[in-house]
């Protein structure tokens, strides 16, 4: 089973990214920095095929703490909890670039 972690607060972008995934890839989504940090703490030892991170996570704060958090806070937990071989990319790039990256994550893990 292949899992990709998508940390993105724009629901339209999440929907678009998920629509590009093959049927056998599971998208784990987090729409705020605090939620992403919780997912990463619980994911220690689990492997994602890749992580896509939006550094500007201000659109959908879940709680007051999220107003003080950003993608850089999430990066620290990625470094602590996710093996170095797992590719990650900032979703600040264009959606086209994101599609290319998702393709590479999928096919790199299935070759």
We report the CATH number of the domain holding residue 24 as 3.40.50.2300
d(CA 90, CA 7): 9
What the block records as the tokens of 98 is: 């994101």
How many separate domains does the chain show? 1
Gyration radius from the chain CA atoms: 13
| pLDDT confidence band for 111 (50 / 70 / 90) | very low
Domain with 14 in it: 2-109
Nearest to 101 by CA among 52, 44, 28: 52
pLDDT tens digits, one per residue of 75-103: 888 888 887 777 766 655 545 455 555 55
Give 16-58 pLDDT, tens digit per residue: 888 888 888 899 999 888 888 899 888 876 678 888 888 777 6
pLDDT of residue 29: 93
DSSP per residue, 47-87: --SEEEE-S---SS-SSGGGGG--HHHHHHHHHHHS-TTS-
What pTM did the predictor assign? 0.75
CA dihedral 39, 14, 25, 74 (to 10 degrees): -30
| Residue carrying the six token digits 């605090």 | 34
Please tell me the distance from the alpha carbon of residue 34 to that of residue 67, in angstroms, as a whole number.
9
């Amino acid at each position: 089973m292949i899992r990709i972690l998508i940390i993105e607060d724009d629901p339209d972008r999440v929907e678009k990214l998920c629509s590009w995934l093959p049927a056998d890839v599971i998208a784990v989504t987090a729409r705020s920095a605090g939620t992403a940090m919780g997912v990463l703490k619980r994911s220690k030892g689990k492997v994602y095929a890749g992580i896509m991170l939006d550094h500007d996570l201000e659109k959908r704060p879940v709680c007051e703490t999220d107003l003080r958090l950003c993608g850089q806070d999430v990066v620290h937990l990625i470094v602590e909890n996710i093996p170095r071989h797992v590719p990650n990319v900032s979703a600040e790039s264009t959606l086209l670039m994101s599609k290319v990256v998702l393709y590479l994550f999928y096919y790199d893990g299935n070759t």
